[in-house]
Amino acid sequence: MKKKKKRLFQRLADSHRGEGVAPVCEHFGQCGGCMFQDMAYENQLLLKKDYVNGLFEGIAEVEEVHPSTPFNYRNRMDMVAAFGKKGLRKAGFYKFVVDIKSCPLMQKKSNEAFVDLRTILQDIQDYDYLNHSGYLRYIVLRQAMFTGEVMANFVVSERENRMERELEPFLHRVDSSSMILSDGLADLSFGEVFQTLRGGHITEEFDGIKYRITPNSFFQSNSEMALKMYRRLKEHVHGKTLDLYSGVGSISLFVADAASHVTGVEVVEEAVETSCINKKINEIENADFICADALDYIKEHREDFDSLILDPPRSGMHPKMIGPIREMKLDKIIYMSCNPATCRDDIKALEDYRVESLEAFDMFPQTPHVESIAILRRK
Ligand SMILES: C[S@@+](CC[C@H](N)C(=O)[O-])C[C@H]1O[C@@H](n2cnc3c(N)ncnc32)[C@H](O)[C@@H]1O
């Protein structure tokens, strides 16, 4: 299935390339962060539209892919420090790091911070992740698009800060900075925060809802598009609402004032804790967050809800979810997805629902990814 999907995408990519445009980044072609900088942005949108429509043939059709700002959109970039380089891995090659001087996908302030950190930290020993020796593993830059707040975190292999002197003149430029310990063999850009150098969190804001972003917490990668999608979801929410796969609760909190009550269900405990903090910050009374497996939860609570929001991981829903969801007998289901192929498969399995509308959103310009929202109506 995966191969078939890849073939469809590759065929479409070849036919949409057109005359091509000059890539804005000198690392294009080497760096694995982008795939389409040499394709005009209008063509990227057409490619993604045809891709989604190909997958959903006979089920639904998107009229267009909602565009994003094509560059400077990313809220987060994890820059590897290894082999004397700081940057991203070469496309398809885990062992090769491309020495990135500057990244046009990152938002401007976080990109500028990265450019400076390359120089500031040039004498700090990096980490050889093939032989497991050395110190600095990742520099993680995050920026909240609507508040402009910037975070810089340093992921290291030992519980000590060997960069105090170098970082001292830099820290006033960011709102939050932390030292993170990642001392295992796994190549992780998160871990235990063992020293807060500045702040401790940044805040993003969507239509007045504040989201606290801590060093290890997830947040959507493109705030402009996430906000567009959340506004669309909200139009379909009413009554007692279940937000399955709720992550850090960003959707639940955003739609809470359109619902009588929202329950967010998420399996990762830390994400649930973040949801509860954000609930408190926003003084939202009618939302609750539960740490549970979606399947276990829905088996026990089929009859309790008026609205259902699904936002599963890329792999889609567990097949056993289909039965209990159908038994909820809701008029409408809201399905947000970061993988249209698994979304299509899940929708097909929900046999007693038809797609009332399907929209696609370009959350990741210059890359093959596309997100979607399907509104399902009971037949
Ligand atoms: C696409 S993300 C949803 C993000 C979320 N809407 C947000 O904005 O934070 C999918 C989420 O599903 C969670 N997840 C994966 N498997 C799960 C399961 N079996 N039960 C509950 N949550 C699960 C993941 O931890 C992840 O947070």
How far is residue 90's CA from residue 96's CA, in Å, rounded to a whole number? 6
Cβ–ligand 1 contact at 296 (below 6 Å): no
Predicted local confidence at residue 303, as pLDDT: 83
Above 70 in pLDDT, residue 205? Answer: yes
How far is residue 252's CA from residue 190's CA, in Å, rounded to a whole number? 25
Predicted local confidence at residue 1, as pLDDT: 47
Name the DSSP class of 359.
Answer: E
Q: How far is CA 278 from CA 1, 132, 213, 257, 283, in A?
A: 39, 37, 9, 15, 8
pTM of the complete model: 0.94
Is the Cβ–Cβ distance between 65 and 51 less than 8 Å? no
- Per residue in 130-182, pLDDT (tens digit) is 999 999 999 999 999 999 999 999 999 999 999 999 999 999 999 999 999 99
The identity of residue 103, as a single letter, is C
- pLDDT tier at 91 (50, 70, 90 boundaries)? confident
Higher pLDDT, 20 or 257: 257
- Per residue in 93-119, pLDDT (tens digit) is 999 999 999 999 999 999 999 999 999
Above 90 in pLDDT, residue 245? Answer: yes
Cβ–ligand 1 contact at 110 (below 6 Å): no
- Partnered with residue 337 across adjacent β-strands are 372
What percentage of the chain carries pLDDT values higher than 70? 98
Name the DSSP class of 31.
Answer: B
Query: How much distance in Å is there from the Cα of 268 to the middle of ligand 1?
Result: 8
What percentage of the chain carries pLDDT values higher than 90? 92
Q: How far is CA 283 from CA 144, 264, 336, 337, in A?
A: 21, 16, 26, 28
Predicted local confidence at residue 5, as pLDDT: 63
- Per residue in 4-63, pLDDT (tens digit) is 666 777 888 888 887 889 999 999 999 999 999 999 999 999 999 999 999 999 999 999
Phi, psi of 299 (to 5 degrees): -60, -35
Say how many C-beta atoms besides its own lie within 10 A of residue 14's C-beta.
9
Predicted local confidence at residue 22, as pLDDT: 95
One DSSP character per residue, 96-155 reads: EEEE-S--TTB-HHHHHHHHHHHHHTTTS-BEETTTTEESEEEEEEEE-TTT--EEEEEE
Cβ–ligand 1 contact at 338 (below 6 Å): yes
Q: How far is CA 220 from CA 69, 82, 262, 302, 373, in A?
A: 15, 27, 20, 28, 15
How far is residue 82's CA from residue 207's CA, in Å, rounded to a whole number? 40
Q: The tokens of 178 are what?
A: 């932390």
How far is residue 234's CA from residue 259's CA, in Å, rounded to a whole number? 9
**Beta strands 353-361 and 332-337, pairing class:** unpaired
Predicted local confidence at residue 2, as pLDDT: 58
DSSP-derived 3-state class of residue 278: helix
Predicted local confidence at residue 292, as pLDDT: 98
Q: Mutate which of 209, 233, 254, 266 to test ligand 1's pocket (most atoms within 8 Å of Cβ)?
A: 266
Phi, psi of 242 (to 5 degrees): -110, 120
Above 50 in pLDDT, residue 199? Answer: yes
Query: How much distance in Å is there from the Cα of 343 to the middle of ligand 1?
Result: 14
**Beta strands 85-90 and 93-99, pairing class:** antiparallel
Name the DSSP class of 244.
Answer: E
- Per residue in 279-336, pLDDT (tens digit) is 999 999 999 999 999 999 999 998 889 999 999 999 999 999 999 999 999 999 999 9
Query: How much distance in Å is there from the Cα of 269 to the middle of ligand 1?
Result: 11
CA-248 nearest atom, ligand 1: 9
Please state the rounded mean pLDDT for residues 356-365. 98
The identity of residue 65, as a single letter, is V
Mean pLDDT of the chain, nearest integer:
95
Predicted local confidence at residue 11, as pLDDT: 82
- Per residue in 224-240, pLDDT (tens digit) is 999 999 999 999 999 99
How far is residue 359's CA from residue 164's CA, in Å, rounded to a whole number? 48
